[in-house]
Amino acid sequence: MLRTETITLNLGPQHPSTHGVFRLRLQLNGETVVGIEPVMGYLHRGIEKLCEQGTYVQVIPLTDRLDYVCSMTNNQAYAVAVEKLLGLEVPERAEYIRVIMAELTRIINHMMAVGFLWNELGAYFTPAMYCFRAREHILDLFEMTCGSRMMCNYMRPGGVSGDLPEGFLPAAKKFNDYFKGVIDQLETFLNENEVFLARAVDVGVLPADVAINASITGPMLRASGVAYDIRKVDHYSVYDRFDFDVPTCSNGDVYDRYLQHIKEMWQSVRIIEQALDGIPEGEVMNDQAAKALRRPPQGEAYGRIESPKGELSFYVVSDGSANPYRVRIRPPSQINLSALKEMCEGHKIQDIVIILGSINLTMADLDR
Amino acid sequence: MDVLNLLFVNLREAITTWLAGFLPMWAAEAVVHFGVGLILVVIGLLAVMVLTLGERKVIGRAQDRYGPNRWGPWGILTPVADAIKMLTKEDIVPEGADYWVHLLAPMCAIIAAVLIYAVLPFGEGMWGTDLNIGILYIVAIASLGTIAILMAGWSSNNKYSLLGAFRVVAQLISYEIPMLLSIVAVVLLTGSMSMVEIVRQQSVPHLITMPMVFFVYLLAASAELYRTPFDMIEADSELVAGFFTEYSGMKFVMFFMSEYFNLFAMSAIITTLFLAGWRGPILPGYVWFFFKCGVVIFFYWWVRSMMPRIRIDHLLNLAWKFLVPLALVNLMVVGLVDKLIADGIVQDVVLLAANIVVAIVVIGLLAFASRKTRSKRLQRITARR
Amino acid sequence: MTNEEILSKLRERFPEVVVDVPELIDFTVAIKPEAVVDVARFLHDECGLDYLALLTAVDQTERFEVVYHLWSIKDRTTEPFVLKAYIEDKENPTVPSVTPLWRGASYQEREAYDLMGIRFEGHPNPKRILLWEGFPGHPLRKDFENRTYTFEELKPTRPTGPEW
Amino acid sequence: MFGLGIVKGLWTTGKHFVQSYLGHTGLREGIRPDPTLGGLFTVQYPEEKLPMFPRFRGALMHLRDAETGEPKCTACGLCVRACPNDVIAVDGEGKGRDRKVTAYHYNLARCLFCRLCVEACTFSAIEMSHEYELASYSPDLVWGLEKLLAIGDKYGVHEAGKAWE
């Protein structure tokens, strides 16, 4: 066997396929990766420190900026944590609105994940554009509801900031029907492509025990075969009223992670359908919330939800003042990277890129 | 009809005669040849402009976008704007680069690309020169491009460039073999290496008589052109821009242009070898030629709009374990048929039948080889919801 | 296994370790920092708490708290088991690393070191993660000086530690 | 298998290519592009502009009282306290109900467009406008009271939060 020297390659911080400023220090033997170390922090904005300096409500615009792809679920996770701290009840209609928004966000995120995975495979933006097209309509729904496409700032501890506007429900129903066609089309387009199969099957395999040990959650964990979904486990919000499955895959490779995203979109469509049909009338904001937020009890609370990328949770410590004493965010993007070494070593550079794509990172979430 | 068909040939004759009126014959010939060379380069440049715009338009349309449409009606002036932008950019030579090699690499690339145009037959009598080893000349010149890319990758002092160059050498050298073997099959049948002679011999396009040879050639050609799914060299999602990561301004334009020069040249070669060149009913020859080229190029664009990139080891496996044996089998079949059956319609039919048999055998062998993985994959796809 | 049962088993197994069981929304057990690895291994192996959701540190002016939120994916627990390590030594806060047990703790421990200045002994790659080497201080500490820093003060130094 | 998946992919993009010449979801009077129609869906931005939803959160504007025409702002400072990002500075004169705003600085460069200031305002004196073309060549992005009132006049709104009911 010929002994050859390895070379060190910096994949990033400015690189087309790292989804932002993220650096991978790769050690290469030819094209094969023998060492990998992620270097992060290029987008660190000190959100946890900023949270300590605002009031409880002023944190919400900051949570929008954690994972800009799914700001609605970020809002929701924070609201869940603070509601747990304050012991606030949320009106039923607000819970339904939250479910609809969270599932729409999940669709956005999974669309982006699938589209950009294909971009990294080298498909020159076509699946990404089709995904963006569907996403655009969801963003329209968001804009209609909260006035902003991406930085929603919609959910508050104790409810949501405003009732659904007129025309939202029919528009959402129309979108939901249309979206089934979109996923169908994506599946015919992408599922069976031979080149995709050749590249994605058995690449970046993540065994279930490693995934649990590395605290990996969300679609990645379920693609490895563990049917762990916080929506089913915790029954937070009103998820126990809807009939949906927790789809899983078995192998935990890139192809399974892709398929997992597609399967979860089907489930989201089911949930949205039921939520749109069953949404009750009523208040959307708890009257006690504003008073409670001014004088929260001392203590701490840990609120978690199933965000599209995995478990997103906020650990809020209160010292009784109007500002949170400490807010710690559990970023799913960052912690899902924990098993990168196991997944990447021994593969080619081209595989590293698609493995990273299938993990579905958002740098703003990773660095906070 | 003949007037239109031979319009440019007659024009050339007329100019030569007119020049010979006040110049010695050799000088008139030289001037005309020089003019023809200039026209060939202009054809190449026009092709670059049309292809860059067309590619972006077609892929844009496939992605539900307009494509470029801001500059001029339907965006037809976009290539001009591109050119102006590129030419006014700063020319950057990275620190630690090998200056001369870095400078010469794009020139080599574009020279290699332009030289191919000398032997392309655009129509009856419309060629730079009718070399009797035309196709061999093309293969030889096209390999020069590999050296240019290697020079660029090596001299840039950048790991991305270097890795890109590694891939190029592996890919281009591997795919030259099935490509050559396919060309040999055509040459065997035609009995000539001259591009013009190949066209003249094709009463039935070789696409119809030898689809398998065409298939191998098409795959190998797209690898030689580094089009998707074989665009390993640029590989923008992993290697930034491959071997021309460190190039900017004019030098980058040269690489870029050489790529599109090559694309057009390759589609012209495919047209010549397999689609019967300029031959076609009613319309003048050159119209048919450009139409056929357009179809081939459109096919490449279409593939680009949906295809992911193949992995480097799969790529080499495909070349050595699939295309080379297949090309050899094709060559054998063509040789046998050519030897055993006299030229004519019977030969064409037998050749087609033999090709179909080869195709069926190949599919059968593939199915046999991949029966285990395939059932596993199919299971996963069908159990998807 | 409910959280109360886990606590009683823990008390039985490690009688000296539990220092406090504070009244909080989530079930919380505070222990001495030296015993973290033993307790964590016990919880992981024998109590089925296989999923470390969150590891963080809180600066409670009189002490540092390192907080571990543990769940069980196997048993689908709906309430977290919160393990806290009270570090009374404010000058040089140290706690053993649980990265060998849960590799998911790796980045979170590095982050706690980076932002809160708690040293995790036995971490395989104890570098800063979000900020750069040479950053003055640990920003999430309550005594961190919130002011404008000069360029010189923020100059990065060469990172140390194992290469890969 | 054997290229069938690739053929399906070619079919999909080919269909979109043809559809792009047949259909256009483009803008019709006052509504956003319809998702259910096929074809192109690009908006040719400077020429075509999307209609804004009533709740759209653009730059801040000040409202006038419908009868007196005076600014409704009383410089109480609730918006200043509600703002997460130190965008607003306000000054006023007078006491109690007679207090009137004299200066209002809205730092556009820092604004998050979160609408917390509008939610905090008990006098319905400010609202988010639909102004979104906010890029500027001048570095001075601190807007004063006159400019904010001018935007309010442009929209002719006198009550905040109409769209949010």
DSSP string, A66-125: TSGGGHHHHHHHHHHHHHHHHT----HHHHHHHHHHHHHHHHHHHHHHHHHHHHHHT-TT
| Cα–Cα distance, A41 to A366 (Å, whole number) | 8
| C27-65 core/surface letters (b: 16 or more CB in 10 A; e: else) | bbbbbbbebbbebbebbbeebbbbbbbbbbbbbbeeebb
Q: Do D17 and B374 touch (CB under 8 A)?
A: no
- What is the DSSP-derived secondary structure letter of residue D51? P
Q: How confident is the model at residue D25 (pLDDT cuts 50, 70, 90)?
A: low
Task: Write the residue in B65, B305, B378 that is nearest to D40 by C-beta.
Answer: B65
Task: Give the per-residue pLDDT at B236.
Answer: 62
Contact assessment for residue B266 and residue B225, using Cβ atoms and an 8 Å cutoff: yes
Least confident of A54-58, A131-135, A243-247, B370-374: B370-374
pLDDT at B103: 86
At residue B373, the pLDDT reads: 66
What is the Cα–Cα distance from C71 to C54, expressed in whole angstroms? 10
Range with lowest mean pLDDT among A206-220, B81-95, D91-105: D91-105
| Average pLDDT, integer, range A230-238 | 85
Question: 3-class DSSP state for residue C132?
Answer: coil
Spell out which residues of chain B touch residue D42, defining contact as CB-CB under 8 Å: 64-66
Contact A230, A305 (CB under 8 A): yes
Identify the helix (H) or strand (E) that includes residue A247: none
pLDDT (mean) for D140-164: 82
Reported CATH class of domain D60-164: alpha beta
- Chains with 3 or more CB pairs under 8 A to chain B: A, D
Verify whether the Cβ–Cβ distance B62 to D42 is below 8 Å: no
User: For residues D162 and D165, what is the distance between their CA atoms, to the nearest angstrom?
Assistant: 6
Report the pLDDT value the prediction gives residue C40, as an integer from 0 to 100. 86
CB contact under 8 A, B235 and A122: yes
Measure the CA–CA gap between D86 and D107, rounded to whole angstroms: 8
Q: List all residues 6 or more positions away from A335 whose beta carbon is below 8 Å from its beta carbon.
A: A214, A215, A216, A217, A310, C104, C107, C108
pLDDT at D1 over 60: no
Structure tokens at A253: 């490779």
The answer to whether residue A15 neighbours chain B at the CB level (below 8 Å) is yes
Contact C97, C109 (CB under 8 A): yes
Beginning with the edge strand found earlier in the chain, give each strand of the sheet holding C18-20 in spatial order.
Answer: C18-20, C27-31, C81-87, C63-71, C51-60
- Non-local (6+) Cβ contacts of D22 within 8 A are D38, D39
CA A178 remoteness from chain centre: 23
Give the pLDDT band (50/70/90) at residue A239. confident
Q: Are B285 and B72 in contact (CB under 8 A)?
A: no
- The reported pLDDT for the residue numbered A1 is 64
Q: Give the mean model confidence (pLDDT) for residues B76-83.
A: 88
Which residue from D56, D65, D79 is spatially nearest to D158, judged by alpha carbons? D65
Whether there are 3 or more C-beta pairs closer than 8 Å between C and D is no
Residues of A whose CB is below 8 A from D9:
189-190, 193
pTM of the model: 0.88
As beta bridge partners, residue A306 has A311
Question: Burial, D122: exposed, middle or buried (Cβ in 10 Å; 0-12, 13-18, 19+)?
Answer: exposed
Lowest-pLDDT range of A153-157, A308-312, B94-98, D20-24 = D20-24
Is pLDDT at A350 greater than 80 in this prediction? yes
List, for residues A272-325, the tens digit of each pLDDT value. 989 888 888 888 888 888 888 888 888 888 888 888 988 888 998 888 888 888
Tokens of B95: 């620190």
Q: What sign for the dihedral angle of Cα D45, D47, D48, D54? A: positive
User: If you average pLDDT over residues B2-30, what whole number do you get?
Assistant: 80
Indicate if the pLDDT at residue D86 is higher than 70.
Answer: yes
Q: What is the mean pLDDT of chain B?
A: 82
* Per-residue pLDDT, B378: 57
| Chain B, nearest residue to D14 by Cα | B62
The answer on pLDDT for B361 being more than 80 is yes
Contact state of A129 with B63 under an 8 Å Cβ cutoff: yes
**Which residues on chain C are in Cβ contact (under 8 Å) with A328?**
54, 56, 58
Closest CA relative to residue B289, chosen from B308, B269, B307: B269
Distance CA A57, CA A72 (A): 15
Contact D5 A191 (CB under 8 A): yes
Query: What's the pLDDT tens digit per position in B183-229?
Result: 888 888 888 888 888 888 888 888 888 888 888 888 888 888 877 77
pLDDT over threshold 70, residue D27: no
List chain B domain ranges. 2-384
Share in percent of chain C as helix, strand, coil (round to 5): 25, 25, 55
**Inter-chain residue contact D14 with B367, CB threshold 8 Å:** no
As a whole number of angstroms, the distance between CA A310 and CA B201 comes to: 65
Report the range of poorest mean pLDDT among B224-233, C2-11, D120-129: B224-233
Which pair of structure tokens corresponds to residue A5?
């020297």
Site from D6, D20, D43 to mutate, B interface, most B CB atoms within 10 angstroms: D20
Chain B residue set in contact with D, beta carbons under 8 Å: 58, 61-66, 302-303, 305-307, 363, 366-367, 370, 374, 377-378
Q: Please check the confidence at residue C162 and state whether its pLDDT lies above 80.
A: no
| Each residue's pLDDT tens digit, A159-191 | 888 888 888 888 888 888 888 888 888 888 888
Q: Report d(CA B219, CA B182) in Å as an integer.
A: 11
* Residue B230: both structure tokens together: 């074989």
What are the tokens at A42? 């290029």
How many of the other CB atoms lie within 10 Å of CB of A49? 16
- Is D162 an 8 Å CB contact of chain A? no
Percent of the residues in chain A that have a pLDDT greater than 70, as a whole number = 99
CB-CB contact of B79 with B52 (8 Å): yes
Contact across the interface for A178 and D36, Cβ inside 8 Å: yes
Residue to test with chain A: of C75, C107, C135, most A Cβ within 10 A? C107
Whether the per-residue pLDDT at C159 is higher than 70: the answer is no
Mark yes or no for CB contact D17/B62 under 8 Å.
yes
In this complex, do A195 and B312 lie within 8 Å of one another by their Cβ atoms? no
> How far apart, in whole angstroms, are the C-alpha atoms of residue A245 and residue D49?
41
| Cβ proximity of D53 and A144 under 8 Å | yes
* Partners of residue A85 in chain C, C-beta under 8 Å: 25
Q: Which of residues 20-39 of A touch B (CB under 8 A)?
A: 30-31
- The predicted pLDDT at position B385 comes to 43
Provide the ipTM.
Answer: 0.84
- Rounded to whole angstroms, the Cα distance separating B217 from B184 reads 11
Nearest to A286 by CA among A93, A103, A145, A144: A93
Q: Which two tokens stand for residue A149?
A: 């496409």
Q: How far apart are CA B109 and CA B173, in angstroms?
A: 16
Which pLDDT belongs to residue D30?
61
Pairwise pLDDT comparison (B367 vs B175), residue with the higher score: B175
Report CB contact under 8 Å: A49, C139: yes
Report d(CA C8, CA A318) in Å as an integer: 28
Q: How far apart are CA C45 and CA A208, in angstroms?
A: 17
Shortest alpha-carbon distance between residue D1 and chain B (Å): 8
Decide if B104 contacts B157 (C-beta within 8 A): no
Distance CA C68, CA C43 (A): 11
